[in-house]
A and B are shown apart, each in its own frame.
Chain A
Amino acid sequence: MTFFWAFVVGGLICMIGQIMFDVFKLTPAHTLTTLVVVGAILDGFGLYDPLINFAGAGATVPITSFGNALVHGAMAEAEKHGLIGVVTGMFEVTSAGISAAIIFGVIGAILFKPKG
Chain B
Amino acid sequence: MADKKKKNVPPAAQTYQAFQDKRETKRTVFTNCVKAFLVGGSICLIGQIISTLYIYYFNFTEETVGNPTVATLIFITMILTGLGVYDKIGQFSGAGSAVPVTGFGNSVISAAIEYRTEGFVLGTGSNMLKLAGPVIVYGVFSAFMIALIKTILVEWGGL
Contact with A along B32-69 (1 / 0, CB 8 A): 11011111111111011111000000000010001111
Known: A43-B146, A70-B139. A97 touches B74 (CB 8 A): yes
**Interface contact A14-B149, CB-CB below 8 Å:** no
**Interface contact A102-B108, CB-CB below 8 Å:** yes
**Interface contact B95-A58, CB-CB below 8 Å:** no
Which segment, of B6-14, B16-24, B129-137, faces chain A?
B129-137
In this complex, how many residues of chain B approach chain A with their Cβ under 8 Å: the count is 81
Given the complex, which residues of A lie within 8 Å of B70, measured CB to CB?
60-61, 96-97, 100
Given the complex, which residues of A lie within 8 Å of B68, measured CB to CB?
96
Interface centre among B44, B82, B102, B152 (most CB of A within 10 A): B44
Cross-interface CB contact of B40 among A15, A32, A100, A112, cutoff 8 Å: A15
Given the complex, which residues of B lie within 8 Å of A95, measured CB to CB?
67
Q: With contacts defined as CB atoms under 8 Å apart, how many contacts are there between chain A and chain B in the complex? A: 270
Contact with B along A1-43 (1 / 0, CB 8 A): 0110011111111110111111100001101110111001101
**Interface contact A56-B144, CB-CB below 8 Å:** no
CB of B149 to closest CB in A, whole Å: 7
CB of B109 to closest CB in A, whole Å: 5
Which DSSP category, helix, strand, loop or mixed, fits chain B's interface?
helix
Known: A3-B45, A58-B48. A18 touches B155 (CB 8 A): no
Is A105 an interface position by the 8 A CB rule? Answer: yes
**Interface contact A106-B98, CB-CB below 8 Å:** no
Closest B residue to A53 by CB, please name it.
B62
Bound-state Cα–Cα, A43 to B144, Å: 12
**Interface contact B113-A112, CB-CB below 8 Å:** yes
Interface residues in chain A, defined as those with a beta carbon under 8 Å from any beta carbon in chain B: 2-3, 6-15, 17-23, 28-29, 31-33, 35-37, 40-41, 43-44, 55-58, 60-63, 65-67, 69-71, 74-75, 78, 82-83, 85-87, 90, 93, 95-102, 104-109, 111-115
Q: Contacts A17-B36, A101-B104 known; list 16 others, CB within 8 Å.
A: A6-B47, A7-B44, A7-B48, A8-B41, A20-B95, A22-B94, A29-B134, A33-B139, A37-B138, A41-B146, A61-B102, A71-B150, A97-B71, A100-B74, A104-B109, A105-B108
25 contacts between A and B (CB under 8 A): A6-B47, A11-B40, A22-B94, A28-B95, A33-B139, A57-B44, A57-B51, A58-B44, A61-B69, A62-B99, A62-B101, A65-B101, A67-B143, A69-B66, A71-B143, A82-B151, A83-B151, A93-B67, A96-B66, A96-B71, A97-B74, A97-B105, A101-B104, A108-B112, A109-B115
